[in-house]
Every structure is written in C-alpha cells, then in structure tokens.
Structure 1
Amino acid sequence: MIPSRSEFLPIRGLRTHVRHWGRVGAPKIFMQHGWMDVSASFQFVVDCLRQDWHVIAFDWRGFGLSERSSADTYWFPDYLADLEAVLDHYAPGEAVNLLGHSMGGNIVSLYAGIRPARIARLVNLEGFGLPATRPEQAPGRYAKWLDELRTRPEMRGYASLDEVAARLQKTNPRLPGERAAFLAGHWSALDADGQWRILGDPAHKMTGPLLYHADEVLACWRRIAAPVLWIEAEETEMWRWMGPKEEARAEIDRRRAHLAEVTARMMPGAGHMLHHDQPELLARMIEAFLDGAEVPG
C-alpha cells in the first residue's frame, strides 16, 4: 500500500483530520468520502493510480478522526463551508480536481456549481441526490426531528476488529477479506468499555429537519462549468429510494441532463462502494478523465 500521512487542521472551530498520499508538489486530487465512511476508504484507489499525484482527503465533521460538532444536528451547508476552507488552505487560487462518493458526491457537485471557477474537473461517484420532496411534508419532518432529539441514537459496539470487518462484508459481500480488515482499523476505534465503535457521530443517523429541494440542487448543477465524470455501479441499489427501477432510471437521467459537460460511465462488477469493489478500473477511469483522454467503460 502507498503510505498515507495525517494532518489536523482547525477548520471552522473543529479539529479536522486530513489524509495525504503522494508527493507534495505533484498535481492534486481532492477526494471526499460518503456517509458513515472515512478518508482512508480511498486507499485502494490511490494504490492503483499510475501517475504522480498528491491525493488529499479529509474526514467530514463528525466522521473518522475529525472532531464532532457540539450541536445536536449536522447542517449540510457546513460541509460546503468546510470543503471551501480545506481547498483554500491547500490550493489557494487554484482550480482543483475534485472527486466525491455518495454524500461526498452530492457535496462536491453542489460546490462545483456554487464556485464554478474553483473546479478544473469533477468526478461524481453515485452522488445522485436525495428524493425530491413536497412542501406538505414539512410538518411531519419537523415533528420527526423534534421526536428524535429526545432519544439520541447510539453506535453499536463490536467485540473485535474481526467483527467490524464482518459487518463491512455483510453490507458489501464483494469486499475481500484483506480490504475489510484494513477498513475496519480505520472505520472504528476502541472505546473505554473495550468495544470497537464506528467512527461516526450517532447524530448523523438522525432525520434532518429540512426538506431536500431538488430544484435548488439542480440549479447549482446547471452552473457547473467544469467537465464532469459521472460514474454509476451496475449492481448498485441506490436507485431504490426513487421508487420502481424504471422511474428511478428516468429521474437519475433527468438530473444528470442538467450537467452541461458530462461523461457518463457504468462500472461493471461493482455495487455502491465501487471504490472498494473495482479500485483498479476506477483509477484508470479517473486518470483518463483528468488527462482529457477517452474514459474506459
């Protein structure tokens, strides 16, 4: 494995963990993980990159080794502000190569439309967005949020790292044992009770009080000026929240059509965690795209 090194930055009042691979001074790629994931999740892709890169990935607030918020709710705009602070620190005034997976894909795509001049090339890995909502859903959503504030969620404990690895493989049966073992050591930590617990604030599991406004998101997507590489996994089930598969396919295609310059590819032999399932192919796709060459697939 290519070794990584950790750095901690004060970002908007929270101690934020940043992971680096490669040579400082090499061309940069910023990689942002998804919900209940960590920056180390990109290790397998980094190992497969063939060119000289400086890969920078940080743990979102309340995930991995980054500090948890003292507030009882995580607000999505904070992710955008944290991302901008990190980019300003490591690439001031530069247009950057930016990649995000799942929740991270949603965040980086929003940011690319909000700050189009900051992005050279954008890679979205299954960052489709959330289900569209209707105004009449607001009272119920607020009520659910208030109800959940009364009983805070907890993270389950595991007796060993082997149990954590088994949990990862249960969620993703394609995950080889050695990769599961590596991820388990970064995805969890031993607590004072001798239990291994996932490095994610349980507050992330709570329902957010605000509705998801797809029209506002797509307004941001339409302002993205950078070329976009859009990668889906053939065996993903992320479409299920949109309804029957035919309806989901139509909605995903409708959203993608708002991107001005997009290269769409389907990843064979992979589920939603495609950076774990097919890291070599994903690395080839990323490097071809960043080079302006034909993207395989």
Structure 2
Amino acid sequence: MTLTPSRSEFLTIRGLRCHVRHWGRDGAPKLFMLHGWMDVGASFQFVVDALQGDWHVIAPDWRGFGLSQRTAADTYWFPDYLADLDAILRHYSPEQAVNLLGHSMGGNVVGLYAGARPERIRKLINLEGAGLRGARPEQAPGRYAKWMDSLLEKPEMRNYPSRAAVAARLQKTNPRLSDERADFLSQHWAAQNDAGEWEILGDPLHKNPGPLPYHVDDVMACWKAISAPVLWVEADQTNMWDWMGDKAEGRAELERRLAHLRDVRCKMVHDAGHMLHHDQPVALAQMIEEFLGS
C-alpha cells in the first residue's frame, strides 16, 4: 500500500488548538474534507491516494477528535462545528469559494454551513450526512433530563492493550477493512498513554446526549438555501437507517430531504458500508473528481 505523504499543522481556532492534515501541493486547487463522529482527518488517506488530479487536500480534526484540543465545557454544541469550519475556511481560503466534502457528521455540518454561507461554496460533496430522525415536542422533557443526568457521571472510553488490538476493533466494526488499512487507521485513531495502553483519540464527552432536539425543518431550510451544485453519495450497504428510521421509512425520508436541494446529483457506491471512503476509495475518488471537474 503506497501512501501519499501528508503533513500536519496546528492552528488556534476560536480559542482551541486545531490539528489540520494536508496532502498535495501548496497552490493546487483546494479540497476540504471533514470527517465524521469518532473519526479523524487522516481517515481520508485512502481517497487521497486514489485521486488522479493535482489537489491540495485539507482535512482538520474536529474539536475533541484526533489531535485537536478538547473543549473545557461539559457539552459539545453542534453549532460550534459550523463556527470552527467558518474560521478554518477563512484562514485557508479567505476570498475564494471552496470545494467542500463531509462524511456522516461532517456531511451534516457542511450541509448546514453551505446553506448559511452559500457564497463560500463552489461545490459540495455529502457522503451519507443525511441527519437524524426528527424530534417530536413531547420528547423534550425526557431529552433535557437525560442530558442533565449525563453530566453527573464522567463518560469513559475503552482502552486497548496494543495498536494491533485497536486495528482489530476497527475491523470488527468494519469487516471490509484490510489488515493494512486497519493498521494505518489505528495509529491515527488511537495513541499510547503513560500506562502503555492505547486510548481512542476522541473525547468521551462526545458520547453524552445533547439537550437540543434535531429540527428537520431547520436543516431543510439550510439545504434549500444551498446555491452550489451538490454531489450526494451513499453506500449500497449503508446503515444510515439506524439513525433515520427503518429502511423503508428512512429511504422515503431521505428522498424527501434530497428534494430540498436545488442542484443535486446522487451516486451509489457498491460493495460498501457507511465508511465508504475506507471500503471503496478508488470508486469514490473517481466520483469526486468527475463532479469537481464537471
């Protein structure tokens, strides 16, 4: 497995130290890639390896993930991701509209951002960032109670005895991962602590539920405001339905949501699950470059 070399940079973004991974040539067209929940920017390595064109790929670790600093607060607030992204784009591309890609949680963030700042986006790529089930008003009391209860206990992550054990954990979640890819991801997904154990590079606080409901209508208003062309990509063996409803219900709701995008192209990646950038990076890279070049 031949890996495209990357380099790290650290920025102070809204008071937190943010890690940003770069691939490619400075001065080449920029492509920003935003990872999902409990993932890291290095997760896009295999897609970068498969790109044929001359690109400068920029992939930050969201706050509290990877090598980026964790928040000092007791809760991660979703709007902070949008503000962090805004600061990152102003740093690297203060004047030019950008090519922006997001996976899963990152896809949710870029979809909202592209509606709030439509003039900042040249083209948008959303990899299975469809969102959650819509909240109902009667769920609010229980949701606030669950959030307050979660603040009473410190959440923890499981540690692993070796990096090989971390790789095995990744392969358990995604059996499609080859040994080489799992080994690569393990060294960016975890780090060895003073006790010699391997800790996941994700703040355990991310496991806590947030108090605010998911308002689908608000999200769709943002999607409707997106002016850039959008490429929607999903996997044929996705488990998106775990957080959108059963498959039949979720499929219908997904189609309803996609109809809010004024200029969207939909693509399917075959023989892939939700981590489609790991499962079929060559096919995904080809879709990305065809879309960006069109």
Which TM-score band applies after superposition, normalised by the shorter structure?
Answer: over 0.9
Shift of 1:135: 1.2
**Structure 1 unaligned spans of 5+:** 293-297
TM-score normalized with structure 1 length: 0.98
Q: Which amino acid aligns with 1:154?
A: E
Task: Return the alpha-carbon distance in structure 1 between the equivalents of residues 78 and 242 of structure 2.
Answer: 22
Residue equivalent to 1:150: 152
Q: Distance in 2 between matches of 1:31 and 1:243?
A: 27
Letter in 2 for 1:198: I
**Structure 1 stretch 188-197 or stretch 60-69: which is displaced more?**
188-197
SS at match of 2:151: helix
Q: Distance in 2 between matches of 1:45 and 1:240?
A: 25
Post-superposition shift, 1:37?
Answer: 0.1
Match for 2:196 among 191, 194, 215? Answer: 194
Partner of 1:100: 102
- Partner secondary structure for residue 267 of structure 2: strand
Which of 44, 61, 64 is matched with 1:42 structurally? 44
Quote how far apart the aligned CAs of 1:193 are: 1.8
The TM-score, its normalising length taken from structure 2, stands at: 0.99
Identity, % of aligned positions: 70
Distance in 2 (CA, whole Å) between partners of 1:155 and 1:250 is 35
Matches of 1:262 and 1:275, distance apart in 2: 20
Match of 2:289 among 287, 290, 296: 287
CA apart distance, 1:242: 2.6
User: What residue in structure 2 maps to residue 91 of structure 1?
Assistant: 93
- 3-state SS in 2 of match to 1:110: helix
Residue 275 (structure 1) aligns with: 277
- Any idea what the Cα deviations from partners look like across 1:158-200, whole Å, max 9, x if unmatched? 0000000000000000011100000000000011221101100
2:230 is equivalent to residue 228 of structure 1: yes
- 1:12 and 2:9 correspond: no
Instruction: Using the TM superposition, give the Cα deviation of residue 244 of structure 1 relative to its aligned residue in structure 2, in angstroms.
Output: 2.4
Query: Distance in 2 between the 1:159 and 1:14 partners?
Result: 30
The residue type paired with residue 197 of structure 1 is: E
Q: Mind listing any 5+ residue stretches in structure 2 that lack a counterpart?
A: none
- Give the stretch that moved more between structures: 155-164 or 237-246: 237-246
Q: Distance in 2 between matches of 1:204 and 1:287?
A: 33
State the AA in 1 paired with 2:116.
I
Structure 1 residue 216, shift from structure 2 partner: 0.2
Q: CA deviation at 1:246?
A: 1.1
Query: Could you say what secondary structure the match of 2:9 adopts?
Result: strand
Find the partner of 1:115 among 97, 114, 117.
117
Deviations 1:268-290 (A, max 9, x none): 01000000000000000000000
User: Which moves more between the two structures, 146-155 or 62-71?
Assistant: 146-155
Task: Give the drift of 1:2.
Answer: 0.7
- 2:205 corresponds to: 203
Is residue 2:241 matched to residue 1:239? yes
Contact residue 130 and residue 254 of structure 2 kept, 8 A: yes
Secondary structure, in 3 states, of the residue corresponding to 2:191? strand
Distance 1:194 1:150 in 2: 29
Partner Cα separation in structure 2 for residue 243 and residue 100 of structure 1: 22
